[in-house]
Structure 1
Amino acid sequence: MRHPKPLPIWDRAQGKMFEEWMDDSPDTYETIPQKSFSQQFRSRLLYAALIGLYQSTRYSKRHIESFVRKYHIDMSEFEARDYTSYDDFFVRRFRPGVRSFPTSPEEMGAFAEARYFGWEKFSADQQFPVKGRSLNAEQLLGSADRARPFMNGPLIVARLSPVDYHHVHYPDSGHTLERHKKGHRLWTVTWKAMENKSDIYIVNEREIHILETENFGRLAMVEVGALTVGRISQVHPVEQPFQRGDQKSVFHFGGSAVVLLGEPGAWRPSNDILEYTQQGVETLVRLGDPIAKRC
C-alpha cells in the first residue's frame, strides 16, 4: 500500500510557501515506506546500482530536455555543455560566480542547495517533526566516542530533491579528522517517511566525516544516500585541508540528505530555519546563503 504526500516548503528567496511534489517520482514522497512493496524493492543497493548503470548510458540523455522543461530548471545558472547521459546532467555544476559563501567568519553558508531543518539543541526526547531516534548522534555516527562531542549540540538536516544541484560543499575552512562508511539500504529520506520508519538515517548508506573547522569548532558531516542514490563520490581528498566553499562530494541520481552536527554552544541555526522547523516545514536555501551563526 502506497501513501505518497506532497511536502510543505518555505522558499526563503521567494518569500513564499509552496508544496513540493513530483508526480513522476511518487516514491520520493512515500510516508509509510515499510508497507510499500515498491519502496521495499527500490530501497536495496542493487536496485540503485542497476538504475545508475542505465542513467550513465547515452540512451538516458533523452530524458534531460523534458525534465528541465517540466521542473523549470534555469540552465543559465549551470555550465554550458553537451551532457553525455542523464547522470552527467544530474551532477551538473554551477557556473563560476553564480553562488557564493559568506565572507564573515561568524556566518555559516549552506553546504548544499537544499531544504533545511534545524535545531539549536537536539536531544533524545525530540519528537517533532522527526522522532529523536531518527537523528540519534551515537547511532547516526556509529560510535559512542565519536558522538560524545556532539551530544545536545546544534543539528541541521538538508534534504536534496531530484531537481537540485547535487554537489556538497564545505561550510568552513579546516581539515578532516576521521572518515567512516555505514549503512546498507536506501529508503526515501523525507521527514514524513521518518515519522513511520524512524531508523531511516541509521540504516541508509552514509558517509561520515568528522571535521575540525576554523570558526565553528568540530563538525560531524553525514552524507546520507536515499532512494536510487547508490553512489556518494568524494571529490576533495580527505587527507588535504579544505577552504570554505570548496566542493566536498557529489550524489549520483535521486534524492539524498546531509546531516550536520555541532558541539554544544558553538553555533546556532538561522532564525527562519528554527521557526519553520517547529512547524514541520523545511526551508529552501540556496548554496552558500547563511544557515547558521557562531555563538
Structure 2
Amino acid sequence: MKTWFYRLLIELTNHKFTSALLKKFSQSKISKFLIPSYAKVYNINQEEMLYDIDTYENLHEFFTRKLKPGVRSFVNDEKVITSPVDGVLEDYGIVESDKIITVKGKQYSILEMIGDEHRIKKYIGGKFLILYLSPSHYHRIHSPIDGEIITQYTLGTKSYPVNRYGLKYGKSPLSKNYRVITELKAQGNHLLFVKVGAMFINSIECMATHQNWQKGEEVAYFSFGSTVVLLFEKDTFEIQNHIHIPYDIQVGEPLGHIK
C-alpha cells in the first residue's frame, strides 16, 4: 500500500500537464508572495545570496539564485575532485560488470542512463557518486575539475522526483528523467558528469559552451529538482576517507582525488 501510494504521487508530479502548471506558476509574479515563507521553511542562508530577497520577481528566480563571490572556495589541487553542487552525497559504490549501479537498494542500468554502449565500457569497475539537491540547496552547477569536454548530449523525457522517495519508489528516475550527460577528460582520465533534472521537463540550463572547463566555474543550473551522478574509470578515483553516507557537502569541497 505504501509503495503504491508513493508511486501514485510520483506519477502525478511527473504528468506533463501538472509539471507545466507548476513551472508556469513558479515563473509567474504571483509566486513572489511565497518567497519569504519558502526561505523560512527551507532555512535559506540569506547572507550568502548575491541579491536581497525582495529583489526576486518570482519563485523560480529565487530558486536559481546566485551566491556572493567568495562564499564558496575550491581546493587548488589539480588532482582533487571537488563537489560540483551544494547537496547531499546519498550513495557511492562500484559500477558492476553487468553495467548496473545500486542506489538506495535499487538497481539502475548505466547503459540506459548513458545511452551509449561503447562509452560506458571504460567505466565498468569504476566508482560512482550520487549527489542530491533538496529545495533548500543552492542550485547552480560548477565544474568539479579542470577538464576538456569530450562530448555533451541530452536524454530522457520524464520528470520524476529524485529525492529519497523518488529514488526508492520511482520508475528509475536516474535513467528515465531528462538529463544532460557530459564526458570530461582530466589528468589523462575520463569521467562522466550526469545532471538529472526533476519535476520539470528540460529543467537543466547549460551555460558553458566552450570546450575547456576550469574547476569552479559555473557551467549550468537546475531550474527545479535535481541530482548529479559522477562516474569514474576503474582505478582512477579514491573517495575522501572521512566521507560517510549520507554526507552534506558544498560546492568546492573535496569529494576525493584522481590517482
With structure 1 as the length reference, what TM-score do the two structures score? Answer: 0.79
Name the structure 2 match of 1:130: 105
For 2:193, the aligned partner's letter is: M
Runs of 5+ in structure 2 lacking a partner?
none
**Counterparts of 1:85 and 1:190, CA distance in 2:** 24
Report which stretch shifted further, 185-194 or 258-267: 185-194
Runs of 5+ in structure 1 lacking a partner?
4-31, 277-281
Partner of 1:272, secondary structure, is coil
Judging changes above 3 Å, is the alpha-carbon distance between structure 1 residues 117 and 93 closer, same or farther for their aligned structure 2 residues? Answer: same
Q: Which of 240, 252, 255 does residue 270 from structure 1 map onto? A: 240
Partner of 1:271, secondary structure, is coil
Partner of 2:242, secondary structure, is helix
**Counterparts of 1:271 and 1:192, CA distance in 2:** 28
Alignment of structure 1 residues 159-178 onto 2, 5 Å: 159-178=132-151
| Equivalent pair of 1:119/1:269 in contact (CA under 8 Å) | no
| Equivalent pair of 1:33/1:187 in contact (CA under 8 Å) | no
| Equivalent pair of 2:14/2:160 in contact (CA under 8 Å) | yes
2:158 is the counterpart of 1:188: no
**Counterparts of 2:69 and 2:249, CA distance in 1:** 19
**Counterparts of 2:28 and 2:164, CA distance in 1:** 32
**Counterparts of 1:168 and 1:101, CA distance in 2:** 13
Judging changes above 3 Å, is the alpha-carbon distance between structure 1 residues 207 and 114 closer, same or farther for their aligned structure 2 residues? Answer: same
Judging changes above 3 Å, is the alpha-carbon distance between structure 1 residues 38 and 129 closer, same or farther for their aligned structure 2 residues? Answer: closer
**Counterparts of 1:33 and 1:73, CA distance in 2:** 33
Structure 1 residue 192, shift from structure 2 partner: 4.4
**Counterparts of 1:38 and 1:205, CA distance in 2:** 19
The size of the alignment, in residue pairs, is: 255
| Equivalent pair of 1:60/1:86 in contact (CA under 8 Å) | yes
For 1:224, the aligned partner's letter is: V
Judging changes above 3 Å, is the alpha-carbon distance between structure 1 residues 214 and 205 closer, same or farther for their aligned structure 2 residues? Answer: same
Structure 1 residue 268, shift from structure 2 partner: 1.5
Give deviations 1:3-55, integer Å, cap 9, x for gaps: 4xxxxxxxxxxxxxxxxxxxxxxxxxxxx377543321211344323211221
Report which stretch shifted further, 136-145 or 194-203: 194-203
Name the structure 1 match of 2:75: 102
| Equivalent pair of 1:182/1:207 in contact (CA under 8 Å) | yes
For 1:41, the aligned partner's letter is: L
2:219 is the counterpart of 1:248: yes
Judging changes above 3 Å, is the alpha-carbon distance between structure 1 residues 204 and 107 closer, same or farther for their aligned structure 2 residues? Answer: same
Name the structure 2 match of 1:147: 120
Structure 1 residue 257, shift from structure 2 partner: 0.3
Name the structure 2 match of 1:220: 192
2:165 is the counterpart of 1:201: no
2:259 is the counterpart of 1:289: no
Q: Which of 258, 280, 286 does residue 228 from structure 2 map onto? A: 258
For 1:129, the aligned partner's letter is: K
**Counterparts of 1:234 and 1:126, CA distance in 2:** 26
Name the structure 2 match of 1:48: 19
Q: Which of 176, 183, 188 does residue 210 from structure 1 map onto? A: 183
Judging changes above 3 Å, is the alpha-carbon distance between structure 1 residues 113 and 229 closer, same or farther for their aligned structure 2 residues? Answer: farther
For 1:78, the aligned partner's letter is: M
Structure 1 residue 228, shift from structure 2 partner: 4.1
Q: Which of 203, 208, 211 does residue 236 from structure 1 map onto? A: 208
Q: Which of 66, 71, 74 does residue 42 from structure 2 map onto? A: 71
For 2:61, the aligned partner's letter is: D
Judging changes above 3 Å, is the alpha-carbon distance between structure 1 residues 35 and 234 closer, same or farther for their aligned structure 2 residues? Answer: same
Structure 1 residue 106, shift from structure 2 partner: 2.5
Judging changes above 3 Å, is the alpha-carbon distance between structure 1 residues 233 and 158 closer, same or farther for their aligned structure 2 residues? Answer: same
Structure 1 residue 263, shift from structure 2 partner: 0.8
Structure 1 residue 113, shift from structure 2 partner: 0.2
For 1:227, the aligned partner's letter is: M
Structure 1 residue 230, shift from structure 2 partner: 4.4
> RMSD in angstroms over aligned alpha carbons?
2.2
| Equivalent pair of 1:138/1:146 in contact (CA under 8 Å) | no
